[in-house]
Amino acid sequence: MNRQAQAAVLFLVGGAMLHAGTTDLYLRYVKAGLRPLLLAAGAVLIATAAATVWYELRRSRAARQSPEGDEPHEEYGDGHGHGHDHGHREPRISWLLVLPLFALILVAPPALGSYSALRTGTAVQPPLAYTALPAGDPVEIGLVDYASRAAYGHGRTLKGRKVEITGFVALDRGGTPYLVRMALNCCAADAQPVKIGLSGKLPPVLRPDAWLKITGTYTGKRTKDPVNGGIIPFIDVIEARPVPTPKDPYDESWNQ
């Protein structure tokens, strides 16, 4: 892989990052707040590729303009005046660096779902403050917000209110249904599930990874996550209807 090839790879990676950052594709990898940094990184990579090409063109032009007597370099030969340019090429295995690039361009990875959620303990955390819910009935709140209020606030701010929560379905080995949202700090690599159990009026068929919007009320029922012993609060379902996968499948309110 010579300098020109390296510049091409840098340009393609930078272009892929800009493409992801200017569309919703980046939400599969990082949280929404990191979009400016992703765009900046893509621009830097493209600028680096352009600078590499410019440097190589300048060096080639200087080599062509130099006297012929200055061209041989015996220190790169075999002692008999025969140069071995191929001895200074990078190993061909370096081309494997291109494979992740093609994966980024050609394959949009799905968001983490029930498979990951059931193998990782719930990451519900106590909220910074128990603020009053907005006016309205029902009121739409985040799954992480509900789980925190129900698990650590004992539902004091939820009692007497109908809430709407969106998440995807996960079924444990015993068939217990959960509504889940993956919460993240910065990127999909550190995503952790927050789970709430479903009771009450449930659909006759629940399909794992299907997205639902639940209308329900607080219930004191809770259980322990078998993975890490964390609290999994429940919600008493009044209505459940399928919804499309949201543009941003991750919940970013976990660490706010």
- The CA-based angle 57-63-64, given to 5 degrees, is 90
DSSP-derived letter for residue 229 is -
Q: Where in the chain is the domain with CATH 2.40.50?
A: 114-255
Q: How confident is the model at residue 93 (pLDDT cuts 50, 70, 90)?
A: low
Average pLDDT over residues 163-186: 91
What whole-number distance in Å separates Cα of residue 13 and Cα of residue 116?
A: 28
Greater model confidence, 236 or 182: 236
pLDDT at position 253: 58
Q: pLDDT tens-digit profile of 34-68?
A: 778 878 888 888 888 888 888 887 887 887 777 65
Signed CA dihedral, 218, 222, 226, 228: sign only: positive
pLDDT at position 40: 86
Contacts of 104 (CB under 8 A, 6+ apart): 13, 16, 20
CATH 2.40.170 is held by the domain 114-255: no
Q: How confident is the model at residue 97 (pLDDT cuts 50, 70, 90)?
A: low
Residue with tokens 């990898």: 29
